[in-house]
Amino acid sequence: MGMRWSRREFVQWMGYSSLASAGMSSPLLAATKGGSRAKFAYVSAKEGADEGIHAYVIGARGWKKLQTVKSERPVSVTLSPDRRFLYAVNEVASHKGLPVGTVEAFAVEQDGRLRLLNRRALALSATDPRHAAVTPDGGSLVIAVRGGGAYNVLPIAEDGSLGSVSGIVKEIGVVHANAGQGAEPHMVAFDKAGRVVSVDAGTNRLNVFAVMEGRIEAQERLALAGGSRPTQVSLHPAGDAVYVMHEDGISCHRYDADSGRISGERQQLSMSGTVEGPGTMTVHPSGRFLYASQRGGGIAGWNVASSTARPLGLQAAEMGELNAIEVALDGVGLLGVSRSKGTIQSAEINPSTGRVQAGRVVARVDSPSSLTVLYS
């Protein structure tokens, strides 16, 4: 009889790569330096003719469509650390007659196809969820909920299915210029110690939460300057910096991954505006470069190897306005998702200079919203 592993044992054996760096190389560069190979890609489309989740197998000659899975307004998708399950956030305001958003759990079959496990409602009044991430131990899913201004935690069973909400943080709005503004959590990510780092576009806050035994509680909060609505957060691989994307630029903050403490703003990176709606950014796995979507098309880049970031200028303008950017583990391949063009495009990064050279379209999906890639 073969061995039966628990989730924790499986995760320890496979190793863990954060979503921030688990991007996808060009089809011609599918094998990473560490020997991993991009096998499957999952693209969500929350609206349009292609609404649902699209699964692709990745080969040296390009992407091949495996299936399209029915899903209601999947705004973001994420894989479990052991890469056996995929979770989709449904950006809906009601479910079965109640004012709640939902999340879905799928098993990833050996051939890359998805099989629905279950769909779970969030807490009452937790509507229009935006983003989710799986805890590093694979035991819980943490969701940023824009409508209702909250964070929900759902336990993950051994078979990958989702349990009922086990933890809730209900955020309180703030007053700006004598006008009230409700909380609007937009994104969650995990630091090296397993804490949640999040941004709230309504309260203009950068938050740190601790997740323990299915519960979530606030540990640190930083009020961000101005009223520029932060929507994205990325952590430096070294754990000493956090980057926050606003509507008018990016702020960099010192971060202590050991204590979970955030310091004040270290540097403000200016740009000519992000794409319409929430933009996207990511840190190169080497920690040397930062990339962000640019209004009008292309990628803004910075060399962040030193304490002061140096601009690299506009990259790959021909890719158009991008709503998601993922960089491969080897630091050479890059994928860009363009909702306006309805394309997934591959590009190549010069790992020495950080310059991005646009490649080719690898898939077409009407109104794509996010993607995640599974490595062998």
Is the pLDDT reported for residue 17 higher than 80? no
pLDDT of 34 > 80? The answer is no
In the three-class reduction of DSSP (H, G, I as helix; E, B as strand; rest coil), residue 28 is classed as: helix
pTM given for the model: 0.88
Percent of the chain with pLDDT over 70: 86
pLDDT at 35: 54
pLDDT beyond 80 at 249:
yes
Share of the chain above pLDDT 90, in %: 74
Of 154-158, 240-244, 264-268, give the lowest mean pLDDT range.
264-268
Rounded Cα distance, 348 and 364, in Å: 19
- 25 against 55, higher pLDDT: 55
Tell me, what's the pLDDT at 306?
87
Residue 24 has pLDDT above 80, yes or no: no
* pLDDT of 272 above 80: no
**pLDDT tens-digit profile of 206-224?**
999 999 999 999 999 999 8
Which pLDDT score is estimated for 248? Answer: 78
Lowest mean pLDDT among 9-13, 33-37, 261-265, 343-347: 9-13
Phi, psi (rounded to 5 degrees) for 318? -70, -10
The answer to whether 163 touches 213, Cβ cutoff 8 Å, is: no
Where is 290: in which H helix or E strand? strand 289-293
Res 20 pLDDT > 80: no
The model's pLDDT over 126-140, given as tens digits with 9 standing for 90+, comes to: 999 999 999 999 999
Where does the pLDDT of residue 311 fall: very low under 50, low under 70, confident under 90, or very high at 90 and above?
Answer: very high
Secondary structure (H, E, C), 174-241: EEECCEEECCCEEEEEECCCCCEEEEECCCCEEEEEEEECCEEEEEEEEECCCCCCCCEEEECCCCCE
13, two tokens: 């054996």
> In whole angstroms, what is the distance from residue 76 CA to residue 90 CA?
8
Distance CA 22, CA 38 (A): 10
Residue 194 and residue 133 in contact, taking contact as beta carbons nearer than 8 Å: no
Q: Read off the pLDDT band of 173 (50, 70, 90).
A: low
Question: Under a CB-based contact definition with an 8 Å cutoff, are residues 149 and 169 in contact?
Answer: no
Q: What is the CA radius of gyration of the chain?
A: 19
